[in-house]
Each structure stands twice: as C-alpha cells, then as structure tokens.
Amino acid sequence: MRIERVLAVSRLLLSLTCLFSWLIRPAQFSYRFGLALLLLYVACSITLLLRLEIKGMGQRFAVWAQANDLTWPALLCLLANVTQRPFFVLFLFATISAAFRWGLAETVATAGFSVALLLVQPWIAAHSPTALQDSASFGQDPIRLAMQCIFLFTAGVLLGFLAEAEKELRADVALTNRLLALARTGNRFSSVLQSVLTELGQVLCGTTVYEVVAQSSTGRAFRWELSAGAHPSIQSIEIPPAAQASDLMADYPHTFYMHRSHGEHACSVTAIDEEGRRLDTAQTDSFAMPIAEAESVLVVSHDMGRDWSGRLVIVNAKLGRRREPKLRFLQDVMRQVAPALYSVYLVWEFRSRANATERARVARELHDTTIQSLIGIEMQLDVLRRRSDYSQQAAELDRIQGLLRQEVLNLRELMQTMRPVDIGPHQFLDFIADLVERFSRDTGIAVRFISELREVTLPAATCRELVRIVQESLVNIRKHSGGHSAVARFASQDGLWKLVINDDGNGFPFAGRFTLAELDALRRGPAVIKERVRAIGGDMVIESTPGHGSRLEITIPQKGYELYG
C-alpha cells in the first residue's frame, strides 16, 4: 500500500511535467490531439491516486497500474521525437514501478516490452499519415534510438537484480521476525518448538522436519520430531548410544544441502563450514545421502546454550538455485532462533522446578502438621472407644475413627502425588517396590510387586510417568475396587516394556477387554492414567469383569519417548 501510494504520487507529478512541457513547446503536428492525450494521462493519474486512497489496493490494482504506465508513453512517443520530449522517461518509470512491485523477471519483462514498443513504432508510423511520420520517434537517428533501447533494457536488468535482492532481504527479515515472535518465553516449550518447526517446514516445502540435539553433560541425544497429520505435535525420542553418530550426522559438514541428481546414488552437495565459507567439491564428494528414502536433505547445525548442540533437519526441502546464500541465511537464522528456544526451555525448566519445590514444601507441611494432628486425634478416639461402656457410643467412635483413617490415607496419597519424583532407570524398580510395600502397610491391602528384570534402560521422564501411573492405580484400587489383594508386574516382551496391575476387587463398570483407542471412543477408563500413557507414547488395555476384578496392561516401545514442556 505504501509503495503504491508513492508510485501514484510520482505518476501524477510525471504527467503534470509532461503536460507542462507540451504547453511550453508544442509539437507541430496535432497540438490539440496531444494536449487531449496528456490531459487524459493526468486524469488517469489522479483517478488511480483517488482509487487507491478511497478503496485501497484490490487484487488487480498493480496490474492495471502497470498497464497504464506502459500505455501512455507508447502513445505519447508517437507524437514527438523522444530526444526532444520527456516522454521517454515514462518507460523508465514503468520499469522502476515493476521493480518496486515485483522482482527480477517482471522488471526485465517490462523493460523488454518497453524496448519492443519503441522499436515497433517505425512500423506503426509507416502506416500512419505523413505528418505523423515526420514527428514520430522513428524519425530520429537510428543509432540514438538503439542506444536508448540498450539503456532502457540495461536499466531494467540492473533494477530487477536490485529488486530481487531487496525482495529476498525483506522475506528473510520477515521470516526471522516471525520465528523470533513464535519463540516467546511465556509459552510452553513443546508448543514453541512445534510452531518454529512448522514455519520452517512450510517455508522450505519440507515433508519431514525434526531437530536432533545432544546434551554434552549427560551424553544423551534426542530427536524432536514434528508428527504428521491434521493436528501435529512434538514427539521427543531418545536416540540409543549406538545410533547417535548416524542420527547426529557427526561426519557431515556443519551446514549442507544434498539432493539426488543424475541417478539414484549420485548426489549433489552444497556445504558451508561454521564460518559460512563454502566447502570445495573434493571435500563433499565422499558423502552419501544420510536418509536413504529422501530426495533431498537440508541440515543446519547450531548451539542451544552451553550444554545442548543440535541439527535442524528438513527432508525433501526445496532450496532453489541460489543455495549457498540461502544456507548462510538459514545458518544466521538458527543462530538467532536457537538461543531463543533455549531460553524458552530454561524458563520451562525453572518453572517446573519451582512448582516441584512448592509441591514438596506443601507435602512437608501436610506431613508435619495436618497428618500428625489427624493421627493424634485417631489415637485419642481409639482410647475413648476402648474405655466406652456403651456399645452405641463405641460404634459411633469406631465410625469416626474409620473416617479419620481414610482421610489420613487420602492426605498421604495427596502428599505422595505432590512430592516430586526424581528417579532414573537405576532407581525405578526399587522405588516401585518401596511404593507398593508402603501402600500395603498403610492400607492393609495385600499388594505385591514382581519384576522380571534386574535393571531397565527407560528414560527418566518415562520412569516418572510410570511411577505416577502405579500410584494412581493403587489409589483407584483402595477407593473404588474394594479389593483385598493386587499384583503389579513389570517385564519386557517383544521390544516393549510391559506394566501389568491385577486386583480382585469389583472391577470397572463395564465388562470386556478394551484398548486405549476404544476406551477413548467410549469415554471410559481412568482419565489420568490414559493421559499419562499417551504422554509416553504407550498403549493401554483394560480387561474388566464386574465383581471379579480387573487387569490393567500398559505397553511402551523400548525406543524411549521423552517429554519437554
């Protein structure tokens, strides 16, 4: 809108200048006809300016304005020699307008069309009246006309290159600003990363976008991948140590674009180092396509703080012909966006730790004050019940004591839920065993934990989610099932981690065997457990027989999912 307004005002000034020139030095042929054309040109310029100010830019306004800028100089140059009139400048104005509006191709096309109009005028004038032939532009020196045509076309090419460079610069700045705007520290890390990867995938037309990161302090590596579908989400998969070198592309250049050419195994590589210097062909010929099924791969390395380093990978990206400048641009973009992403991650991490610290403080307060007071009241009621001589009072005291015992158990379960679980795979089995033993001791429900494994290699986040699932399952057994015994079993089978919990209680209010998808469709099953199972990329099956207990079976792929934000 701003560019069109500037062009509209300039067009009006040029038309007035042409009119003033015509009034000062009128041509010998058809003075009134030329004056009428110039007045129409001024009127059209005013109309375009008013149309722009009143109604704004429409879909075809720029096309009509460009056609107007080419039509009037073509008509006016027929009336006077272009060396004596400023009408030739109008062709240059049309070329400048195309450069402002579009890019290289449109600007060069406008200049070529202007040159064609100048060159075709002799043929037009040859079929015109004799008086017109004497005053038309073709009557000037052919060498001068050729020089003007060369100047006009050369100016169009130069202006087109400048317009294309400015257009790319504006697009690059806009992309960088959009990515930095998406990386707002107030949002969740997973949603920010999803937005950034989605934006990059759309701009570069990639079919798959993911981020591979390595943590230097722990030696662990993860792949943050944007899932496909109508509602994409971020899935973080821990990379096994044996596959880290290949997934991180350790032997490949810092930033590169590779695509297949001239055959299935032949690849063309454009690569730059960390400083943005182009790598020679001899340094990249030995590299094979890192993703076998991909037609092209774009990889940009970057750092995220002192502890994290990563690579942005876009599969089947389209980079165009000017690959080296675009690689440098993407390298600069990631240098700005990666620290912003790391800041979002740190804020989320600090917030999570602050929340965990606050929950631990509340849990300590509950344990040190409320629970101790309730236990003391329960003991006093037990003493009064034993001393009471009346059976009715003893029964009432027994009921109150039972209520207090239930509330103590509820508070203890709430306290355990609020207390942060900071465990890894080495403490996982022992923690579950202690959790089950403590629950059995507090509630009187006979619960056993059986592990078919001596050690596990689960990610820490998955261990924490499984502990919460066991806690929630035990709470449901105590509150709802009415069972007297239960068994929790953990095993490994067919590339899956398997957690099974059986109880002899009342079962769920439905009969049969249902998967997680079926439970979601029926809107049945424990909502909290289902949410946690989905969070770790697992599956769940519930087998229920009302009056005869239930069986909860959870399976998790051994490739290791991890959650961030």
Token code pair at residue 271? 């690569």
Residue 419 near residue 365 (C-beta atoms within 8 A): no
- Over range 174-192, report the average pLDDT: 80
Residue 319 has pLDDT above 50, yes or no: yes
In tens, the pLDDT along 396-423 reads: 666 666 666 666 666 665 656 655 566 7
Q: Are residues 167 and 294 in the same domain?
A: no
Q: Which string of b and e fits 358-383 if b means at least 16 CB within 10 Å?
A: eeeeebeebeeeebeebeeebeebee
Q: Are residues 23 and 81 in the same domain?
A: yes
Which segments of 56-141 does DSSP mark as H helices, in order? 61-76, 87-101, 104-126, 130-135
- Give me the CATH number covering residue 220: 3.30.450
**Mean residue pLDDT across the chain:** 79
Under the banding of pLDDT at 50, 70 and 90, the label for residue 7 is confident
Identify whether 223 is part of a domain.
Answer: yes
Q: Are residues 269 and 202 in the same domain?
A: yes
Residue 485 has pLDDT above 60, yes or no: yes
Identify whether 153 is part of a domain.
Answer: yes
- Output 331 or 420, whichever has higher pLDDT: 331
Nearest to 131 by CA among 229, 30, 220: 30
Residue 342 is which amino acid? Answer: Y
Q: Are residues 329 and 196 in the same domain?
A: yes
Identify whether 376 is part of a domain.
Answer: no
Q: Are residues 6 and 126 in the same domain?
A: yes
- Over range 306-312, report the average pLDDT: 86
- At residue 353, the pLDDT reads 67
- Output 133 or 251, whichever has higher pLDDT: 251
Lowest mean pLDDT among 143-152, 289-298, 371-380: 371-380
Identify whether 269 is part of a domain.
Answer: yes
Residue 469 near residue 532 (C-beta atoms within 8 A): yes
**Residues 106, 108, 111, 115, CA torsion sign:** negative
- Give me the CATH number covering residue 534: 3.30.565.10
Identify whether 353 is part of a domain.
Answer: no
Q: Are residues 547 and 511 in the same domain?
A: yes
In tens, the pLDDT along 31-47 reads: 677 778 888 888 888 88
Task: Report how far residue 7's alpha carbon sits from residue 127's, in angstroms, rounded to the nearest whole number.
Answer: 35
Strand order in the sheet with 255-260: 267-272, 255-260, 296-304, 308-315, 208-215, 221-226, 234-239, 561-562
CB-hemisphere CA count at 13 Å for 496?
14
Q: Are residues 213 and 283 in the same domain?
A: yes
- Output 377 or 169, whichever has higher pLDDT: 169
Under the banding of pLDDT at 50, 70 and 90, the label for residue 501 is very high
Residue 148 has pLDDT above 90, yes or no: no
Lowest mean pLDDT among 204-218, 266-280, 340-354: 340-354
- Over range 487-508, report the average pLDDT: 89
Residue 563 has pLDDT above 60, yes or no: no
Distances (CA, A) of 426 to 21, 396, 446, 456: 91, 48, 26, 7
Q: Are residues 21 and 167 in the same domain?
A: yes
Residue 490 has pLDDT above 90, yes or no: yes
Burial of 298 (0-12, 13-18, 19+ CB in 10 A): buried
CB-hemisphere CA count at 13 Å for 127?
4
Q: Are residues 201 and 135 in the same domain?
A: no
**How many distinct structural domains can be found in the chain?**
3
Identify whether 25 is part of a domain.
Answer: yes
Identify whether 390 is part of a domain.
Answer: no
Residue 444 has pLDDT above 50, yes or no: yes
- Bridge partners of residue 466, in order along the sequence: none
Q: Are residues 75 and 214 in the same domain?
A: no
- At residue 338, the pLDDT reads 87
Task: Assign residue 514 a region (left: φ > 0; alpha: ψ between -120 and 50; beta: otherwise).
Answer: beta
- Based on its alpha-carbon atoms, the radius of gyration of the chain, rounded to whole angstroms, reads 38
Other CB atoms within 10 Å distance of the CB of residue 135: 18
Residues 6+ apart with CB under 8 A from 26: 34, 35
Under the banding of pLDDT at 50, 70 and 90, the label for residue 535 is confident
Strand order in the sheet with 550-557: 446-451, 485-493, 496-503, 550-557, 539-544, 512-515
Q: Percent of the chain beyond pLDDT 70?
A: 77
| DSSP assignment of 23-42 | HHS--SS-HHHHHHHHHHHH
- At residue 364, the pLDDT reads 59
- Over range 528-542, report the average pLDDT: 86
Task: Report how far residue 211's alpha carbon sits from residue 223's, in angstroms, rounded to the nearest whole number.
Answer: 6
- At residue 541, the pLDDT reads 92
Residue 505 is which amino acid? Answer: G
- Over range 272-279, report the average pLDDT: 90
Residue 390 has pLDDT above 70, yes or no: no
Which range has highest mean pLDDT (349-363, 402-416, 451-465)? 451-465
In tens, the pLDDT along 8-27 reads: 888 888 888 888 877 776 65
Under the banding of pLDDT at 50, 70 and 90, the label for residue 228 is low
- Output 263 or 481, whichever has higher pLDDT: 481
Q: Are residues 149 and 219 in the same domain?
A: no
Residue 293 has pLDDT above 60, yes or no: yes
Query: Which of 158, 178, 198 represents a domain boundary (last residue)?
Result: 178
3-class secondary structure, 513: strand
Query: Which of 178, 206, 237 represents a domain boundary (last residue)?
Result: 178
Task: Report how far residue 409's alpha carbon sits from residue 219's, in angstroms, rounded to the nearest whole number.
Answer: 41
Burial of 497 (0-12, 13-18, 19+ CB in 10 A): buried
Query: Which of 338, 353, 386 represents a domain boundary (last residue)?
Result: 338
Identify whether 363 is part of a domain.
Answer: no
User: Domain range holding 330?
Assistant: 188-338
Residue 264 has pLDDT above 60, yes or no: no
pTM for the whole thing? 0.56
Token code pair at residue 103? 């890019």
Widest CA span of the chain, in angstroms? Answer: 138
| DSSP assignment of 305-317 | TTTEEEEEEEET-
What 53-56 contacts at long range (C-beta under 8 Å, 24+ apart), as own/partner pairs, is 53/5, 56/1
Residue 338 near residue 332 (C-beta atoms within 8 A): no
Residue 303 has pLDDT above 70, yes or no: yes
- Output 519 or 21, whichever has higher pLDDT: 519
Q: Are residues 9 and 142 in the same domain?
A: yes
- At residue 83, the pLDDT reads 45
- Over range 491-503, report the average pLDDT: 89
Lowest mean pLDDT among 65-74, 125-134, 196-205: 125-134
- Bridge partners of residue 446, in order along the sequence: 485
Residue 204 near residue 319 (C-beta atoms within 8 A): yes
Under the banding of pLDDT at 50, 70 and 90, the label for residue 500 is very high
Residue 138 has pLDDT above 50, yes or no: no
Task: Assign residue 510 a region (left: φ > 0; alpha: ψ between -120 and 50; beta: otherwise).
Answer: beta
- At residue 135, the pLDDT reads 47
Under the banding of pLDDT at 50, 70 and 90, the label for residue 363 is low
